[in-house]
Amino acid sequence: MSEPEDKATTSTASTSGAGVQLTAQTPATSASPVTAGATSTTTTTTTTTATTTSSPWRPNQELYKTLINMGITQNAAEKGLYYTGNQSADLAATWIFEHHHKNLDNTTLQEEIALLAEEDAEGDEEDEAEYIKMIFVVNMELGMGAGKIASQCAHAALGMHRILLEEQDRYREQMLIWEELGEKKITLKGQNSTHLKALQDKATAMGLPSYVVNDAGKTQVAAGVLTALCVFGNEIMVDAVTGSLKLL
């Protein structure tokens, strides 16, 4: 009698709309011939996973009693030992006296620890948040006065505002984040018109909205000269365009 042939089962799954095929192959299982009268033994190995649960912090009872005997309240004693490493009654007492202006009995230690954990979590969320900013690059070659620079940056800001309003579906979320985080604006030094145009081209290539002011030529500078550039968007992307420039 011939031995059974090895076979492999192949199943193909197609992701709808993605045009991607995932092929999974089940390796063939070799059939071992069994001799008549022999006993086949299967050994099963069981893996046990132990879950370790950290126990809540507890004060050193001897130090804790010492503080209580000094007339210190239970909450204050626990906090003093917790924040000084649970090492010394003297250190804990010193910490308590240094923080006497706080109401140490207002919350228990566990409540305070939970509150600090929540604040840390909120801080992590803020760190991960997207930061948006608007920058202005001024053409320093022109030697414009302070009033002229202010008016040119205002023109650039208004021009950018019109772009953002015209494409609200695209920029609405960034505008809301920008407003919520204080509408960060920074003014930087640009070299000349060629430099401003090169920066604008780089911003456009990165998908950032930008607006450059072509002066009307009524005061101080000739008509058509590029006086100020405005770029808006994700802070990291904006810095990739203008991060090397100096503050005005």
The pLDDT, as a whole number, for residue 75 is 86
> Is the dihedral angle over the CA atoms 134, 237, 206, 174 positive or is it negative?
negative
The DSSP output letter for 100 is T
Residue 120, pLDDT score: 65
Is residue 141 packed enough to be buried (19+ CB in 10 Å), middle (13-18) or exposed (0-12)? middle
Q: Would residue 178 count as lying in a domain?
A: yes
Q: How many domains does the chain have?
A: 2
183 and 155 both lie in a single domain: yes
- Asked whether the whole model's pTM tops 0.75, one would answer no
Residue 117 lies in a domain: yes
Is 120 among the domain residues?
yes
CB atoms within 10 A of CB 207: 10
Split at pLDDT 50, 70, 90, the class of 126 is low
The domain boundary, picked from 127, 145, 161, lies at: 127
**Tokens 């010394």 identify what position?**
88
The candidate with the shortest Cα–Cα distance to 211, out of 165, 244, 177, is 165
Domain that holds residue 116: 61-127
Contact 4, 31 (CB under 8 A): yes
Please indicate, yes or no, if residue 31 is contained in any of the structural domains. no
Over the stretch 204-246, which tens digit does the pLDDT of each residue have? 999 999 999 998 888 888 888 999 999 999 999 999 999 999 9
Instruction: Tell me the pLDDT tens digit for each residue of 134-157.
Output: 999 999 999 999 999 999 999 999
Is 154 within a domain? yes
pLDDT computed for residue 14 by the predictor: 37
CA-based R_g, the chain, Å: 35
Average pLDDT of the chain? 79
Segment 170-189, tens digit of pLDDT: 999 999 999 998 999 999 99
Alpha carbons 139 and 229: distance in angstroms, whole number: 8
pLDDT over threshold 80, residue 200: yes
Q: How many residues does the chain have?
A: 248
182 and 236, same domain (yes or no): yes
Instruction: Indicate if 158 and 191 belong to the same structural domain.
Output: yes
| Residue 34 included in any domain | no
